[in-house]
Structures are given as C-alpha cells and as structure tokens.
Amino acid sequence: MRQPESILVVSPDATTLQGLTRALLQGGLPVTAALGWAEGESRLQRVPVSLLVADIEEVGPEELIMLRRLRAAFPHVGIIALVSLSTPEARAAKADGLVLAVLDKPIALAQLEEAVSSALSRKALH
C-alpha cells in the first residue's frame, strides 16, 4: 500500500508557520512544520516528505543556491515557494525546475490548496 503524501511547511515566522500548517491540515494530509531552514533540513532528513511548502521572503541569489542544494539532496521532494517579493530569480527557479510553483503572498487558501493538489498530482505521475 502506498504511503500517504506528506507535506513539510518551513517558515522563519511562527505565526505564518502556524497558519499555513493549520490550513493544510484541513485538507486531510499529513503535515509537518519546521521553524526555519535548519529545522526544515533536519526534518527532511528524518521524515518522508513528498512536498515542501517554503515561506521565502524573496528568491535571490542565496535562495537559488539553497534551492539547488535542496533539489540535489532531495530530488523526490517537490517545492512550492511562497514569496513576498516576486523576482526574476523566482521566475528562473520555476523555469529551471527548482520549484513546482511560486506563489505571491498574501495567498488565498484556495490558491494554496490548488497549488498543493496540483503538485502532488504531478509527483504521483512521476
């Protein structure tokens, strides 16, 4: 029997992390939360994860390096980036396949649910 898809939510902000986690739990999927990238990477190494929802302020050169490192270390994990400021680097990350989607904050719950559903569907096909 196939294991249910699980989602890891990573945010540097506790309030945002709590809100995102609560919203995704309503969808009935297993969700794990991590406060900050150090905790997020630790959980990625210990917990089977299908999808990473990453609260990133702005995708710049440093974040692109981090996304490339995550993609190399965890190629089976899809990534959705939630950004406050859309940048050319954010569009490049999507075009290069580093992330499945880039969503601008503030984000509507329906938009997040649609992106997660789409990402999990795409991952199931691979």
Contact 77, 51 (CB under 8 A): yes
What pTM, to 2 d.p., does this model score?
0.90
β-strand partners of 34: 10
pLDDT at residue number 4: 57
Express each pLDDT in 70-87 by its tens digit. 999 999 999 999 998 888
Cα–Cα distances (Å) from 30 to 72, 110, 113, in that order, read 24, 18, 14
Q: Is the pLDDT of residue 20 over 90?
A: yes
| Residue 32 counted as domain residue | yes
Cα–Cα distances (Å) from 54 to 3, 39, 95, in that order, read 22, 12, 17
Number of folded domains that form the chain? 1
Average pLDDT of the residues of the chain: 89
% the chain with pLDDT above 90 = 63
Which phi and psi angles does 120 have, rounded to 5°? -65, -35
pLDDT at residue number 32: 95
Q: Is the pLDDT of residue 2 over 60?
A: no
| Residue 1 counted as domain residue | no
Helices (H) then strands (E): counts for the chain:
5, 5
Domain enclosing residue 64, as ranges: 7-125
The CATH number of whichever domain residue 97 belongs to comes to 3.40.50.2300
